[in-house]
Structure 1
Amino acid sequence: MVVFQVESMVSQTVDVLGKIESAGDVENIHVINKTAKVFTISNGSGNFKISVKLNDTLVFSSVQYKTKVLVVNEDIVFKKTVKVVLEEQINHLDEVIVGRVLTGNLLSDIDNTEGDPPINFYDVGIPGYTGKIATQSERRLNEATTGGGIIPLNPILNAISGRTKMLKQQVALEAKDELLFSIKARLSKVFFDLNPLEEPLIMDFFYFCQEDENFMTSCKNQSDFKILQFLEVKHKQYITNLKQ
C-alpha cells in the first residue's frame, strides 16, 4: 500500500499554493518550474500557485533577491503548500575616493578644493522643469506641431510636407525600442531558462516580437506575467518559422 502511494505521488501533478516571505517587496517574484517548463509570478502578498510533481525543480528569481532553487519533495506534494524565504541581493562596491580627501580642518579643506560649487534653478529662484526629459525626436515633433502668430505656420507647412507624419513615426519607433530593451534586460533570464534559444538568435527573436502589431498593447504597462505569455506565443511562432 505504501509503495502504491509513493508511485502515485511520483506521477501525480498537483497545484501547490506558495507563500514568499522576505524583508522587502514580495510582489512580481518569478516562480519557474524548470522541469515542467511552466512559470507564474507572486502577487502583492507574496502568494502564488504553480503546478508541480515530485522532484520538480522550482527556481525563484528577482532582481532584488538572491536566486533560490527548491526541489519539490514528498511533504510539498502531500500538503500542496510551500513557504519560501528569499534573501536580499546586496551588491558590495569597492571603496572609491573621488576628488580630494577632506581632513575635517575647515581652513585646510577650503584651500584643498578646486572650482565653484554647482548651482541650479532653485538657487536663483527660477522655476524649472523636473519631469522626464524629452527625446530629440519628441522635441522635433513638438517644434513641428507648434508655432506662433495668429495662424501658426509651422504645423501647416510640416503637415503638408509630411514632416509631422515622419516625426510621429520616429517617436513611435523610439518608444518601441525603449520598451523592447527594457523587456530584454528584465526578463531574458527567466524566459530563456524555460524557452532555450541559441545566443546568436536572441536579439533576432526580440525584433521578431517587436514587429508584431500587438507588441505595444501586449507589453506596455503590463505585468511581467502577461509579457512572458506574449513572448511564449511569439517563441512558438519564431521556432516554427526557423524550421520552415
Structure 2
Amino acid sequence: MKNYLLPLFILFISLGYSQNEKNETGLQQLKAVVANAQTDQPLESVHVVNLNQVVGTITNEQGEFQISAKVNDTLFFSFLGFKSQKVRVTNDMFKFKDTKISLTELAYALEEVIVRPYALTGYLEIDVKNLPLNNAFQYSISGLSVGYEAGSKNPSAVTKVLGAILNPADLLRNLFGKKPNQMRKLRQMKEDDQIRDLLASKFDRETLTELLQMEKVDIEDILNNCNYSKSFITTANDLQILDAISSCYEEFKVLNRKK
C-alpha cells in the first residue's frame, strides 16, 4: 500500500506545481491547424503572430503551428493570396487538440463584396448631380508638406491640425503618448525572427498597424515629422518602416529626457 501512495503523492505535488506555474505566467502552448476554407486542405507557411505577446511562428507542411498564448490573446494570420484574419484565443482552444483556423482566398472574399453602381444616364449635367459628394475637407498649414483631412471620415483630424500648428514635436508626443504599450513592443517585434521575416515581405502596412494598434495615417504622420521622405514612406517594406519608427521613437525619448 505504501508503494502506491508515494507515486500518487509525487504526482499530486507535480500537478499542483504545474498549475501554479501556469497561473503565474498565464502562458500555455497553443496548437492548432490552418486550412483553406474552400478546399479544407492544410496551408503551409502561414504566418501566425500573437499580437499581445509579440511572438510569431509559421505553419508546417500539415498546416500545424504551435505558439505561446493565453486566453483572450489575439492571433493574427497572414498568407499571400488569402484574406488576413484575427482570432481571439479561448479556453476551448487549449482543451481540444483539433482546433482548425480557416482562411478564405482573396478571390472568394472579393466575390462576397456587393457593388452598387451609380445609375448613370450618359448625360454629364445629370450624372454630376446624382453622384454623392465628399463632405471631407483638407486643411493645409504653411510650413508643413502634409495636409490634414477632416470631416466624417477622420474624426481626429482637428486634433492633428492643432497639434501641427503648435509644434510638429507636439504631434509626435501626442501620437507616441497615446500608444505607450505599443511603443514598448517595438524592440520585441525587431527581436522576433518570424515577425521580422513577415514584415520584410509585406508592403501593405496591414500587419504593422495590427501590431502597433495605429492607423496608417498615424504611421505616415510619425515618419513625416521625423523627416523621412515621401518616397521612402510609400516604397519601403513594413520591416523598414518598423525600423524607422523605432529609430524615431528612440530619438523622441532622448529629446524628452533633456527637457
For the pair shown, the structure with the greater C-alpha radius of gyration is: 1
- TM-score calculated relative to the size of structure 1: 0.42
